[in-house]
Structure 1
Amino acid sequence: MTILNEELKQSSTTVSELTIDLDRVVSREVCAAGAGWMAEVKQNQTLRIIDLEGNQAVDTLFISSADTDERYSATDTLANNKNVYLEKGSDLFSNQGRVIATITDDNCGRHDTLGGACSCESNTVRYAQDTYPMHSCRNNFMYSLATHPIAQQFQLNVRHIGPNINFFMNVPVTSDGQLAFDDGISAPGKYVDITAQMDMIVLISNCPQLNNPCNAYNPTPIELVIYE
């Protein structure tokens, strides 16, 4: 049975048809288009990221709660999975060679590991000088690390920003080794489940990019559900 918690029932926020038992849900939030989000996910808990309206990139970082020097490593993840894309069954490795999380369910198909997070600087290089002031994922990361209570509790700062995963984002590698930013392959209601293999902090930027089709030039909300 689909169950919505009371806060979401009473709001005008769009939410998904959730099929997870209420008894298993630890938290459930909607992250606005272009906004940041941060939470701690305990070992064996699962974070479900839901693409509410489709074609929305979700830039994501994972940091160990026990040792914040240990965090998601793109290079270790690519090497161990022998794939530049992530999908159901992919393990996400840390910079200490341990599995920090696993993709345990996914009805989208694949997720990007190469495109990185947009920033004022990358927008300027890729697009035009006048895009420099535009909001970016790196801005979201830095703002969350400067203001969120979890960041303050664990003494996180900009040193904890590294190469990230772009869930739902479509970045094909061309035949000559170049990267392309294409329309997403996601759709409304598509989701990915990431199960924590250790207590971890999740830092998300719900990408505000307006200069390429990763968000269909129209950033939209996502839903984030932590469940047992």
Structure 2
Amino acid sequence: MSTQIPVDLAPIPHVAWETVIPAGTHWSGVLRRGMALRAVDSEGGANLAAVFHRHDEPLERYNMADTLKAQHTAHLTRGHVLYSDMGRVLASITADTLGWHDPLGGVGDAQLFASKYGVARYQQHRNAMIRNGRDSLLLELAKHGLGARDLVANINFFSKLAIGEDGALSFVAGHSPAGAAFDLRFEMDTLVAFSTAPHPLNPSSEYEPKPVKLIAYRAYATDACVPADDFCRSACPENERGFVNTDRLFV
């Protein structure tokens, strides 16, 4: 399979593996420290819901509140890192063609999807069934011995929300064009679960999920540390402390 690289992302010197998460489906896997994923919105309009857990100690997991308040932001892009609830860095966004990914919108459940799109079950519709994001993430977590209590706040990559004067959140349509991509570098051995179900605030009444391509590569050696002048590490003092906490697990 050929690897399509957007012109404003650095070429990948050696691809470890690549796969496509089909539209409206789900995927999970373990990304080791020093590995990176390039996620590509192949057709435009994708939503990639994601949750993150430390692989060897899954009680440690992505913490949305700490991630946002430590970096003084309400969206995610290049230079931001994903904090665990132990103050360590699970992953870093090292490249991004969009400049905005949604950490606030949550994930749609069966009731929401049924009210918006109707019901299409596997028995009648096979691969054209309607899958909601919450159940998709739970199915992937179950493969690794985790359950509903482990489903923490998720990130919606490729999606953007706007805030109205009344404080209400609204979905920004057309945010992610075909070929949009970001690179996520893993600083810990991390279990990742993804769903390509539509964003829960997408107002469209048509169920139109999109596929996402994943390209894995090695960013640095497992026994190495991210240098002090790394863009993500040096973005703010909080990130430097987060990387120090993380390095102590491995050095």
Decide: shared fold, TM above 0.5.
Answer: yes
Of 16, 20, 40, the residue aligned with 2:4 is 16
In structure 2, distance between residues paired with 1:129 and 1:26: 37
- Per the alignment, in what secondary structure is the counterpart of residue 112 of structure 1? coil
Kept in 2, the 8 Å contact 1:56–1:219? The answer is yes
How much identity, in percent, do the aligned residues show?
32
Question: Given the alignment of the two structures, is residue 145 of structure 1 paired with residue 137 of structure 2, yes or no?
Answer: no
1:66 is displaced (CA, Å) by: 2.3
CA-based RMSD: 2.6
Deviations 1:76-131 (A, max 9, x none): 1111111110010001111112111110000111100110111123446xx56956
SS in 1 for 2:176: coil
Structure 2 unaligned segments of length 5 or more: list them: 122-129, 219-251
Cα shift readout 1:169-208 (whole Å, capped 9, x = no counterpart): 1111112111112214111111111111111011000124
Q: How does 1:34-73 map to 2 (within 5 A)?
A: 34-73=24-63
Which structure would you say has the larger Rg?
Answer: 2
Aligned to 1:193: 183
Instruction: Say which SS state the counterpart of residue 161 (structure 2) adopts.
Output: coil
Q: Is the 8 A contact 2:170 2:201 kept in 1?
A: no
Alpha carbons 1:135, 1:208 under 8 Å: kept = no
Q: 1:215 to 1:193 in 2, by over 3 A?
A: farther
Contact preservation (8 Å) 2:105, 2:200: no
Q: TM-score, normalised by structure 1?
A: 0.81
2:249 maps to which residue? none
Deviation above 6 Å: which 4+ runs of structure 1?
none
Matched, 1:157 2:147: yes
The 3-state SS of whatever aligns with 1:103 is strand
Q: In the alignment, which of 76, 80, 87 is matched to residue 70 of structure 2?
A: 80
Partners of 2:50 and 2:204 lie apart in 1 by: 15
For residue 29 of structure 1, what is the aligned residue in structure 2?
19
Structure 1 stretches of 5 or more lacking a match? 1-7, 10-14
User: Separation in 1 of the partners of 2:200 and 2:208?
Assistant: 7
Q: Is the 8 A contact 2:162 2:170 kept in 1?
A: yes
In structure 1, which of residues 86, 94, 111 is the aligned counterpart of residue 84 of structure 2? 94
Shift of residue 223, structure 1, vs aligned partner: 0.3
**Structure 2 Cα separation of the partners of residues 91 and 215 of structure 1:** 34
What code does the residue aligned with 1:16 have?
Q
